[in-house]
């Protein structure tokens, strides 16, 4: 160990929380900036969808590669690379002069985010050996994202008002420098697996599959589902998806070992993550436009309006980290999803009143339920894989969540694409009803697919520091 390296699990946790913070911060702040971007760089609703989905597209499609890279090169090294790429791309976004250049830098931001997320969980796995300590760390890691989602709309509104929309991206640079220093100074050198294959054919086909899928979903709001370009993209997605599965079954070291899907708990957690993010990000996108275009809220007012849904994420993520060790995965995830479904079910009539106060309780319920669910399924995923597959398993879960977000933004964006107020409100109402039904489905998956007892597959002896 280098003399200058002082391993500190708590400071490693802080570095990973900051990383997850900036990754999710750039989701929530962009939603608050939709109206400012529309006016500032003449972005229409399809452009706005791409500004959200370009980031999510690369994020989702490269997560599996990032997880494999983390296993091959070491989680610490890849995590720091992701921090650097994300920070530089944020500067590019801040100085972008057109919609096209901003979307381009958002793509690169997605690359940095993809490198950071699975390796951050691998780093936590490396420094927190005891399951109870690891569960608490995952809870705090999730809370870092919760803080970002909670603070993002408010900070975004303040920064847009005071400094303009560009400041939303520039703020990531100093945070990135702090995270890089903490990781370099306090994270242990990660083990490497130099013989781990990157499976580039599988990676390329997976990226093309997701790109065609995202193109079809996003452009359909402008071109319509019967457009030849959309139909061609759907066909390409199906064929490329089939090709990806063929490659994974005929490659000695696939990027996504299909044997992972033999575990029912991992499959269930992955599907729950997809459905939960589909609902959450889709509704946040739709409600952002509702507050700013129908209710005519200012950026600061729109940011504050999201506080009931977002602020609860922080507290409930921390609570979830403590409850995971006391309540079984199945019970906690099922309860969280049902609570969130109730919130979305009540939100539709609340928003129809145009009286903001009626929407506070539904937003609290919706945010609390999701915040209980995500750390639980993350813990459930890490609990059933061996240590040499932790990176790819966490990447799979987070890739599914990002794909869900892409679907939610695209589909719900399509449903509210009519600028007429009555049509917009009808589309929003349908989106909220669909959200409640999808979360009810996810709760059924949690109850039947997650194990009723805590899995102890890889629990290691406690170190003195963690006892």
**Which CATH number goes with the domain that contains 127?**
1.20.1250.20
CA distance 127 to 183: 12
CA distance 383 to 18: 24
CA angle 256, 110, 80 (to 5 degrees): 85
- Quick one: 121 and 56 in the same domain? yes
- Quick one: 28 and 118 in the same domain? yes
- Quick one: 245 and 268 in the same domain? no
pLDDT tens per residue, range 73-113: 888 889 999 999 999 999 998 888 888 888 899 999 999 99
- Quick one: 60 and 151 in the same domain? yes
- Quick one: 288 and 154 in the same domain? yes
Asked whether the beta carbons of 426 and 416 are under 8 A apart, the reply is no
pLDDT surpassing 80 at residue 199: no
pLDDT tens per residue, range 334-391: 999 999 999 999 988 888 887 888 888 888 898 888 888 888 888 888 777 776 666 6
Which of 78-92, 304-318, 438-452 comes out lowest in average pLDDT?
304-318
Domain-embedded: residue 242: yes
- Quick one: 109 and 247 in the same domain? no
User: Tokens at residue 435, please?
Assistant: 């959200």
Domain-embedded: residue 143: yes
- Quick one: 244 and 260 in the same domain? no
Domain-embedded: residue 4: no
- Quick one: 235 and 302 in the same domain? no
Of 247, 267, 167, which is closest to residue 201 (Cα–Cα)? 247
When comparing pLDDT for 301 and 95, which is higher? 95
Residues 148-163 have a mean pLDDT of 75
For every residue of 359-390, DSSP letters joined together read GHHHHHHHHHHHHHHHHHHHHHHHTTS-GGGH
For every residue of 161-198, DSSP letters joined together read HHH-TTHHHHTHHHHHHHHHHHHHHHSPPPP--TT---
Residue 413 vs residues 46, 50, 217, 218, 408: alpha-carbon distances, Å: 8, 11, 10, 8, 8
Domain-embedded: residue 304: yes
Provide the residue range defining the domain that includes 207: 203-211+223-253
User: Tokens at residue 142, please?
Assistant: 């999730």
- Quick one: 89 and 207 in the same domain? no
Domain-embedded: residue 394: yes
Domain-embedded: residue 462: no
Domain-embedded: residue 69: yes
pLDDT surpassing 90 at residue 220: no
Residues 175-192 have a mean pLDDT of 85
- Quick one: 207 and 260 in the same domain? no
pLDDT surpassing 50 at residue 134: yes
pLDDT at 240: 92
pLDDT at 459: 35
Q: Where do we find the tokens 């989680």?
A: 75
- Quick one: 381 and 332 in the same domain? yes
When comparing pLDDT for 201 and 421, which is higher? 201
pLDDT surpassing 90 at residue 276: yes
pLDDT surpassing 70 at residue 146: no
Domain count, the chain: 2
- Quick one: 80 and 92 in the same domain? yes
Domain-embedded: residue 191: no
User: How many helices and strands, by DSSP H and E, does the chain display?
Assistant: 17, 0
């Amino acid at each position: 160990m280098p003399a200058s390296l002082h391993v500190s699990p708590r400071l490693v946790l802080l570095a990973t929380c900051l990383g997850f913070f900036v990754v999710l911060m750039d989701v929530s702040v962009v939603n608050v900036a939709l109206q400012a971007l529309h006016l500032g760089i003449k972005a229409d609703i399809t452009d706005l969808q791409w500004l959200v989905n370009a980031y999510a597209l690369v994020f989702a499609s490269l997560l599996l590669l990032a997880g494999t890279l983390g296993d091959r090169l070491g989680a610490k090294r890849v995590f720091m690379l992701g921090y650097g790429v994300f920070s530089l791309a944020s500067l590019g976004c801040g100085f972008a002069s057109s919609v096209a250049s901003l979307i381009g830098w958002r793509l690169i931001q997605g690359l940095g985010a993809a490198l950071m997320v699975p390796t951050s969980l691998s780093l936590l796995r490396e420094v927190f050996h005891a399951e109870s300590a690891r569960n608490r760390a995952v809870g705090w890691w999730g809370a870092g994202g919760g803080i970002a989602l909670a603070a993002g709309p408010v900070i975004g509104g303040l920064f847009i008002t005071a400094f303009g929309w560009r400041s939303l991206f520039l703020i990531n640079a100093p945070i990135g420098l702090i995270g890089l220093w903490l990781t370099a100074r306090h994270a242990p050198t990660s083990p490497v697996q130099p013989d781990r294959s990157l499976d580039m054919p599988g990676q390329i086909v997976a990226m093309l599959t997701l790109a065609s899928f995202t193109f079809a979903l996003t452009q359909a709001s402008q071109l319509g589902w019967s457009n030849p370009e959309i139909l061609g993209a759907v066909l390409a997605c199906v064929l490329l998806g089939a090709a990806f599965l063929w490659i994974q079954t005929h490659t000695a070291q696939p990027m996504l070992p299909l044997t992972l899907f033999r575990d029912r708990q991992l499959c269930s957690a992955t599907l729950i993550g997809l459905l939960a993010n589909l609902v959450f990000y889709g509704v946040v996108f739709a409600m952002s436009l509702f507050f700013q275009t129908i209710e005519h809220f200012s950026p600061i007012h729109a940011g504050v309006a999201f506080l009931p849904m977002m602020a609860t994420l922080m507290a409930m993520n921390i609570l979830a980290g403590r409850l995971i060790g006391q309540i079984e995965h199945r019970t906690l995830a099922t309860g969280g999803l049902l609570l969130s479904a109730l919130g979305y079910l009540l939100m539709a009539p609340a928003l129809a009143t145009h009286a903001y106060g009626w929407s506070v309780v539904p937003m609290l319920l919706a945010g609390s339920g999701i915040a209980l669910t995500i750390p639980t399924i993350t813990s459930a995923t890490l609990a059933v894989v061996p240590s040499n597959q932790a990176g790819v398993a966490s990447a799979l879960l987070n890739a599914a969540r990002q794909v869900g977000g892409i679907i939610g933004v695209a589909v719900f964006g399509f449903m509210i694409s009519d600028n007429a107020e009555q049509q917009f409100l009808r589309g929003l109402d349908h989106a909220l009803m669909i959200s409640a039904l999808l979360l009810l489905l996810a709760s059924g998956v949690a109850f039947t697919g997650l194990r009723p007892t805590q899995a102890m597959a890889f629990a290691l002896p406690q170190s003195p520091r963690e006892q």
